[in-house]
Structure 1
């Protein structure tokens, strides 16, 4: 038995590590910190060699250093990320928290005030096809003096990892994940959700044991906690005790007592999970002679999660050497494992692989009738299974766009991480196709200050359909290899300094109509066929030479006049109005005869509005298009028509209907759009539609529309207000992707300070902001109100104005008393026949109610609406997985195996630091 003095000395020596893990301040005298500057270069090299498979990043410092207490070599993050700002924790945090002074990696951070997505690039030496434990650490510490704790999202690769939420200024948060690298490069991204500036204190990567944790390209494991049982102090273990640098925290297990440790177990540790000997030295057993250990864990944040549970046993009692049997079984969520027999000082891990542990973790460890000793448990780990539904961008496309970024030194804030995913954070200027593995189909680098030759890396974008490099400083020839791109339909090289001849293969594609080739404003680029070099022409007879010279002069004069006329026509405004002004379109021009041909002489009408009719068409017998033809008799239609063109020339988003081209010929005006094969949302919700939209489809449509509207409000500078959002203006592709259409009434905020738009009557009854009738003003919150009505249509299947005999009732009037009764099944569209998750349904109802508040100040921003809808989808997907698992369980055999599942990040929140 140690004396109080001896115990004090032991605890005092262990205090620095204890402070690192738990963030607890102390008034005890503390040992002097060993600074990295006291270690020579050889010590640093040794530290690097002793950290195999480690990447340790101290975020927000300029220089690398060795942490002398842990033996871990930390690198500055300046080589891992291109954006962000370095900050130190506030002075009060440093004074009040001893560990901030002792442990350098938590005394500073990097914040990201600019951009929606900021990503760290990780390139482990072991490369792809390996599992790694990634730990992200966060301590706000009031670094900015605002006393406002931010909330933001964390992504690993292209998939959502977790949401960073800190309960106090001094709280220390560790988030761990075991992640399988499918490529040599991986990303950890911080995403701004509009609730504060993201930041990070440290980022650490450790090579994990792949055979112990079967992570794949589609599944990761979120580490909730590693629990050390039976330890009498608050001491925690990590590297170097644990080669994987897990943080083993003490856990007070209910109805148990600790067992005296053995001192000889270190030589016996050789198991797959590499549990530290220091952790296995202690254990617990039932209290008061009981023969059972019981434990229950439930996460309110993740009520439908799947889990992996790992139990670690090692016989450490001397009595077990005296022919006394310790045998027990484990009953985990109703499934029995065992019997299990322990041998003295031989570690035994048991994991729940192939066993469905879901929702609640409930286990009992019972001694068998033959057992002489009660059961014991030395340690355990919980992991939460995190599905990874999305695959990264096609590697060929990813390598090509990265090479282009490096060649031209493109420093756009959002060009970080994966180019295409997450969908809402696709790189600006890129359009991707998401059928399976994402592919880049459009790249717009117009006016991006590109210099030098056209990189051959563009030719590696094999799926690209449109490439715009116009109005840069590109020089040299036009590469012939661009003609080999199989899907390229538009190539815009106008406004550069290109020289030489245009490759014949590109000319041929342009002549046969398969490629729109734009080469204007390249003064040194010869576009004639063939190019004439007058200095090489030789004429034997002077008279003939004179005649030819005159003819050449006449020819070039005619050519110049022709070019001037053509250029003047090209520069004429698409739509002219003495009252409304004029504008130019950069989209592909079509003649009226081509419009007639595209629509088959206006055979099939697919829509009609105040502007005129919409016809179904086809370009080159390939992709169908929609052609909106302006009626000459429509005055209001003309204004809407013009506004739509103006906006669609400057906005581009996957959830906004795309403009392909236009026609402006002798007063005949038409716009060509991508064709939306499944019509509009209102059609799918009508009683006459035989195919009922499933609940998950409705949620996805709501998310798609929210993405489009959020882009107009917050992604466009200045912001854009749609002013006529309704279910009839939400169109659906063949794959049921939703896109917002009909921008005829949309308006742009002319200044960022402008809070509203004074306007003449706009919008559609049922969707119009109630405040408009009082103020005559529409703003972004007016669109939010309209979106709330669309949500109610998706929820109930009813239109905005419900028709009853002799009158119409607004959907809110009809719905409010039903919502007050609290019966969700009378609210949800009865055609769904109850196939929805109740929790997700109520959450969508709450979102819709908040959007449709009568006072605009009470309505949320679209960024928050989008975040909430995504959480609804997560709940619904988890519900679906639960139903599938339960279904499988009812049909499976009675001899289950043990499964690989997971746990809750709430336990990853370490103890708050007392001030």
Structure 2
């Protein structure tokens, strides 16, 4: 599938006059005069800007000229024509930007001009993709209203900019030629602030840095003991903001003076260490991912504050599913006569005809059903359908489709209904589809195609093999994504047995004496691991089964309680991605656990079920110590969770949290749990997010002596720069699908949100990682095992369809 994204602007209502789409550099912009006849490009004499017609960018609307009474000499030429949308609830402009992680400034300007002679002012909503951007309400016919937004094309983030200089040298709102972001800067003064400035230029270092003229001005409190405070009340307390505060020292005599230290606070919480701004060099402090009913940023204990937050972008993130738009839009080659404009799934009231979508809590809508039955379409089945990776139902019945049934339908892992009856398809149905239909995994309807026949299904299921690389530092995102999916795939739920008599009988039969342990380990000959519990030894049972024996150290911080917890849990909870407990030793002071042996060590040494513990066990279990060292790999590189000594079972299923003593590993500990001692399932989600970031980057959770010590800080910094490529382990040499990586990183960053309410459930994480894996599989299109070491994913049975 051609990897092209659509940038779609939706206008619900009447008109739009001029649109500016602007990339990071001043030269890379498109200026569109809405309503201008086709092939009528011109250069505006007043501004020198080149304008082009909008005819090729929209499928609807009617062009008009404004009323002559408003056609004054001072009016810029783009406002002389308008485009009106008298029909339909949703009308769109569609642009095709360049590929890659690019930011666009989008500025839309509106004027009524009584173009229709009715003197009736319009009002309408403005959308970017599926998200409401703003509302347009004009106060009179001559008013020009402009709306701006920063659209980050690849990762789909929107940034509203509050570009403020406190105070400015200029007296009026304006722009600067050296501002790459083309922001409009407005004066912002306070009675308790005093203006200071410098004639020396400030060097440009950072992205989003304000222009030099802005950086040359600063403010100081009129009272030297006061703080500088910027505050606002968001219209929506759930919006997430990203602020950038830019500092520079303008007084050479105070350069590097320790007394110039300043502390920055966000709602009374200090953001990082004290700051000493360098002389005539910018320093930028990012404050990432915050929200609230009231926001207050203050700079305290300073005598002169240099270039206060001279640019403070207020940001919130959204994730738009361009996989929805592009494949469907390309299918207009079928000439389907439907009002298909804008985002297919959102807003919900504008859902495209013939589609159904799912609306997960933590991700954007996904197309799950496409019905083109009796639509008069002809030709072969469009290859663009392969881009609908989460589709569950596809109905192309009663049309005039010809050609073969394509193999790419096998690459849709969640497809459970396929209706092709009543066409003129020819040839053999792919064996994989026929087999899935025979096994009840796919509802397959083929009658009414006289030249179509079923081939004999293969008795051996097709699998997709994902190679495992030898060196852990070269483990690819595809392999790890496969591992992640495999260990968290849910099989059938198994309740925890609460019958104490049965459990006691089971425990008794699996008890080993200390002398047995000595014999099994050959007198503790081979050490294979070390942890907080104690030392782990390799051993062999009488039937030559390899085992790992973990003996409790007398100096261990863990004791009888953790030992009992782990024994009881692992004897009652069974899952293919949880380590199997063979037995235990409780002989006086000698305590040990005997596990199945994991030939390839743990995930940490090579560089996932949690979902089962949270959702498959009733009541749920929280592990409390998820980290790479507690995720073991067997000889087939199948991952299994281990070390349940700190796990907690919720008393009843309806309880959402329990209060506990803080326990866990540094770098993986949920900050909310640490502050409140309230343990929830989302505490495991946070730890898993850290593990996922480690898998993607091959970096440890904490890097001592680094400026950004925690992996979350480092990844956030890299994403802030738009540098996703250097987030991924460089040993992969770029051999991965960028969209798959973005999806995985988005999942990981959602998991490590500071508050549990913003984190997805493990069930949602499973769904999102399946999607990431499906994208990578579609790229590589691996159809057979490529090496002796492989992981087989049977997409027919192991990846169940996504529930709508």
TM range (shorter): 0.3 to 0.5
What is the TM-score of this pair, normalised by structure 1?
Answer: 0.40
**Higher helix share goes to which structure?**
1
What is the TM-score of this pair, normalised by structure 2?
Answer: 0.45
